[in-house]
Structure 1
Amino acid sequence: MSRKKKKKRRGNFILALIEFILGLVILVVLLGVGAYFLCPVKSVSVEGTDLYSAEEIQNYILDDEYSHNAVYAFIKNKLFPKGDAEFIDSFDVKMNGLNAITIVCNEKKILGYLPQEDGSYVYFNYSGKVVEISQTFVDRGYMKVEGVSCDEPEIGSKLSIGEEQIGYLTSLIKILHKNDLMPNVVSYDENGRITLIYDTYNIALGSSVYLEEKIDRALRILPQLDGLHGTLHLENYSNASTDIVFEKDSEAE
């Protein structure tokens, strides 16, 4: 092949590449102009949370002068998603047509909380990991843990309440969740023994020894306690001592 033909082919390729790039740029510009004029945000809906007002969420997500455009808001959320709001793990922006968007709030999964001496609350999940630390108390019936304090809690880390306490708590959570027996409060005493507090009765578990057996016995007995107020004592349960006492509340009587 002669040099002239090679140069001609190379020149044709460069010319075609330039034309392709120019065409692509023109297409992008046209799409951008079209999106700007055709996709102004006229309707915004918020889903997934009642912790913030719809206006607060809208102002948080649509936070710059270009966010009035639905396409821009959608693309911005995909490229630079926000996730640093209290109790919210992430946000999704969805387009519902050219002029409407929906902001979906994905809340953090919370099982319970520990009140701190400084007035804050340490919220944790089913794995015993801290997911939020806040001065705000969220009244959603989350399980309360009392009788222990969390030393220097950090989001993403295990509850820092002591190795024995956290081991007991996480094992207990798994068993209780499996048996649909989650309490309102888990209360530790000064010796690390646990009492589960429900609406009308308590279950004194004591230490973690024979934990599964204690829960199994409690499940068999609880139907007989319907309507009663008091404490089911399982702290002394063992293979050698299977006697279980239900102590009625004197006030209820």
Structure 2
Amino acid sequence: MGFPKKLMIAGAVVLTLLLLAAGIAFVNIKEVTVVGNERYSGKEIEDRLFPDKKSRNTAYCFFKEQWGEHQQIPFIEDYKIVFHGFRSVEVIVYEKSIVGYLTYMSSNMYFDKDGIVVESTSRQLEGVPKVTGLDFGHIMLYQPLPVENQQVFNDLLTLTMSFSNYGMKVDEIHFDSRRNVTLYIQDIEVVLGDHSDINGQISVLNDMLPQLDGLSGTLYLDTYDETNTSMMYTFKKK
């Protein structure tokens, strides 16, 4: 008596899947493409996620991506590995939104737009301003910065968004006890005062920076008036 036709088909399918799985078990990832990364180079991300032969095994990587835990990488919120065949993957990186950092106990404490400390490191990230003048207590990783006035984080977010719109690199943002702001850009000190119109002040600053290139001194934009388009601003050389 022969085997039923359906049973033979099912057996063939199972055998094919077993052979396919056995074949994949010996296939390794050869090509890695990284997108969404700014804090790290593509090579740095690749080296972290695929440091050895085991991690490059296609089957191992697939099951780890589906059911395993992702690595914790500083300044990275999460990542996703997308397979494009058995030998090629794309790593999509989702970076944390960093607005500034404080120096605390010889470390740079980076925080996001909500004031949450997301990383402590000796590394200094390019394009992230140092924030000074804030009074705070004991700082803990992954906890909100213990500052008295939480409104300061809204100020920081508005400032950093304005910097980003103009491609402006600011070295330091200083707050005094009344939340008056002073910026430091290379050898230029920029007094914004109560920054009641940050966007307008940053727009004026962006227009003036090329004229101040190579100079050292203080630019006073605390007198900014959006209704006075012919306003002259004081720059005092050191």
TM-score by shorter chain over 0.5: yes
- 3-state SS, counterpart of residue 93 of structure 2: strand
Structure 2 residue aligned with 1:33: 22
Q: Runs of 5+ in structure 1 lacking a partner?
A: 1-14
Q: How many residue pairs end up in the alignment? A: 226
- 3-state SS, counterpart of residue 74 of structure 2: coil
Structure 2 residue aligned with 1:166: 153
Pick closer, same or farther for the CA change 1:46–1:149 going to 2, 3 Å.
farther
Amino acid at match of 2:61: A
Pair 1:76-2:68 in alignment: no
Q: 2:108·2:122 contact (CA, 8 Å) conserved in 1?
A: yes
Pick closer, same or farther for the CA change 1:36–1:114 going to 2, 3 Å.
closer
Pick closer, same or farther for the CA change 1:44–1:150 going to 2, 3 Å.
farther
**How is 1:16-165 mapped onto 2 (pairs within 5 angstroms)?**
22-37=11-26, 39=27, 41=28, 43=30, 49-50=40-41, 52=44, 56-59=48-51, 67=55, 69-80=57-68, 82-93=70-81, 100=87, 104=91, 106=93, 108-125=95-112, 127-128=113-114, 130=116, 132-148=118-134, 152=139, 155=142, 161=147, 162-165=149-152
CA distance in 2 between partners of 1:67 and 1:223 (Å):
49
CA distance in 2 between partners of 1:34 and 1:212 (Å):
59
Percent identity, aligned pairs only, is: 21
Shift of 1:96: 7.3
CA distance in 1 between partners of 2:166 and 2:217 (Å):
21
Pick closer, same or farther for the CA change 1:69–1:234 going to 2, 3 Å.
closer
Pair 1:215-2:219 in alignment: no
Shift of 1:150: 5.7
CA distance in 2 between partners of 1:206 and 1:143 (Å):
18
Moved more, 203-212 or 130-139: 130-139
CA distance in 1 between partners of 2:80 and 2:227 (Å):
56
Shift of 1:122: 3.0
CA distance in 2 between partners of 1:79 and 1:103 (Å):
18
Q: 1:200·1:229 contact (CA, 8 Å) conserved in 2?
A: yes
Shift of 1:42: 7.6
Q: 2:76·2:96 contact (CA, 8 Å) conserved in 1?
A: no
TM-score under structure 2 length normalisation: 0.70
Shift of 1:103: 7.2
- 3-state SS, counterpart of residue 181 of structure 1: coil
Shift of 1:193: 1.3
Shift of 1:134: 1.8
Cα RMSD after superposing both structures: 3.9
Match for residue 215 of structure 2 among 228, 238, 244: 228
Q: 2:99·2:156 contact (CA, 8 Å) conserved in 1?
A: no
Pick closer, same or farther for the CA change 1:113–1:173 going to 2, 3 Å.
closer
**How is 1:167-206 mapped onto 2 (pairs within 5 angstroms)?**
167-206=154-193
TM-score under structure 1 length normalisation: 0.67
Structure 2 residue aligned with 1:4: none
CA distance in 2 between partners of 1:35 and 1:109 (Å):
34
Considering fraction of residues, name the structure with more helix. Answer: 1
Q: 2:129·2:171 contact (CA, 8 Å) conserved in 1?
A: yes
Q: Runs of 5+ in structure 2 lacking a partner?
A: none
Task: Choose 1 or 2 for highest CA Rg.
Answer: 1
Pick closer, same or farther for the CA change 1:244–1:140 going to 2, 3 Å.
closer
